[in-house]
Homo-oligomer: A and B are copies of this chain.
């Protein structure tokens, strides 16, 4: 289906064959992510993954002993990479909590939400019940840290008197939910011809930040808001 073309522009020091070989696992994982997101895990055939990665069926099994292991590798490979950066941003930030909140959400979108890696969200949502350990791993390694991160931003805002007292866990959910929802929509309905979300994701984040900031602001004194 996909012609097995070799990338012609990447010959440096190592021979092409070797380069391909080293790149194989990632190429396979990328192909698998795409297909698993598109069609679902069970409905994707191992041979399709191999074909999209430009290798034969047998080669796939040289790298991953089973289709299920491939799925696990896809998921593990695509999670737990962006959190650390977020922590850095938060730690380095010196302005208002409101600005920081906006920054963090926009960066999340830029670095994850609008990349193909966001497909992992739909994939996990679809498949966790069949792979509960991965679900627990994901909850512990990704969801918890992300919530802690956003929670710390909120906490800082409350402490600094920018935000009113808030049920932090719930507000964190409310912050993430629209973004996760957009991501999931993009990889499901959004891929259907004739179904449009009707709103631009970046704008939506702006509106989200706008409303939530007014919503969580220490109310009477909300002047100065943007």
Residues of chain A touching chain B, judged by Cβ–Cβ distance below 8 Å, are 38-43, 98, 122, 124-130, 132, 135-136, 138-139, 143, 147, 167, 169-171, 173-174, 176-178, 180-182, 184, 187-189, 191-195, 197-199, 203-204, 207-208, 210-217, 219-223, 225-226
Contacts and interface: CB of A to CB of B under 8 A. Distances in A.
Tell me whether chain A's interface is mostly helix, strand or loop, or mixed: helix
Given A198-B169, A207-B170, A212-B215, A126 B128 contact: no
A192 B169 CA distance: 20
A159 to B, nearest CB: 19
A222 B211 contact: no
B219 A219 contact: yes
B219 A199 contact: no
Contact of A213 (B178, B220, B226): B226
A225 B217 contact: yes
Contact of A132 (B135, B174, B176, B193): B193
Contact of A223 (B136, B170, B176, B222): B222
Nearest to A139: B195
A40 B38 contact: no
B199 A225 contact: no
A76 to B, nearest CB: 16
Nearest to A42: B42
Q: Which one of A41, A130, A192, A194 has the highest number of Cβ atoms from chain B below 10 Å of its Cβ?
A: A192
